[in-house]
Amino acid sequence: MQDLDSNKTAINPEASPSNQTIKPSNNSVPGLKEDDFGVVFSNALVKVTDNPDKMIELWGRGKVKNDDEAFIGTDPSAKYRRYEYYYIKENSGIKAHVRRGEIDYIYFMDITDWYTNRGIKKGDSYNKMVEAYGKPTKESIEDSELVCEYPLKNVSLMFKFDKDKNISNITIWNYLN
């Protein structure tokens, strides 16, 4: 799982977030750190910006047998190959997208027993999210759904809510271009 140019380092150290902390408005909730931008499954944490080899070592390849099967194309700059891995258990799970030699985003699919590093999963309430993360840095309405975002440098943790203010979607992504 490397860039097309094998002479380049798989992970750009400048692209990885630091351990810088953003303090939420609720002082009883610890500030965000790098580990908050990952998913825990089988007691193993994998974060966006991690090398995909770590994900494969901890979780396996999911529904694909090899990298050729996971390959979905080359990005428009023709510098990086893109891969998609699906980790599905009984019709629920996550999708992990790999680009630039690192995990680019993690998307929670359907109702799932996968959860964030602070124990939040799909179906949890708005109040439970705020208890775990504090007041969101950004709130907006997209397609009639409330979207709450917690960014740290070049990564973001986003929660979407249904009309009952329960989490309908979680996406963790690295938005470095």
How many degrees, rounded to 5, is the angle at CA 134 between CA 142 and CA 42?
A: 85
pLDDT at residue 16, as a whole number: 30
Asked if residues 38 and 48 have their Cβ atoms less than 8 Å apart, the reply is yes
pLDDT at residue 77, as a whole number: 67
Q: Which of 146, 147, 54, 38 is nearest to 94 (CA)?
A: 38
The upper half-sphere exposure of residue 162, i.e. CA atoms within 13 Å in the direction of its Cβ, equals: 10
Q: What contacts 172, CB < 8 A, 6 or more positions away?
A: 37, 38, 39, 47, 48, 105, 106, 116, 155, 156, 157, 158
Start-to-end CA distance of the chain, whole Å, equals: 19
Three-class SS state of 22: strand
Q: pTM for the complete prediction?
A: 0.71
How many other β-carbons are positioned within 10 Å of the β-carbon of residue 122? Answer: 21
Q: Which two tokens stand for residue 135?
A: 């007041």
d(CA 38, CA 70): 20
Tell me the mean pLDDT per 10 residues along the chain, length 177: 29 30 47 88 84 86 75 70 72 74 80 82 95 94 92 91 93 76
Distances (CA, A) of 49 to 83, 128, 165: 14, 26, 29
pLDDT at residue 92, as a whole number: 60
Question: What is the largest distance, in Å, between two alpha-carbon atoms of the chain?
Answer: 51
Q: What contacts 33, CB < 8 A, 6 or more positions away?
A: 19, 21, 152
* Segments making up each domain of the chain, as ranges: 29-174
d(CA 114, CA 128): 16
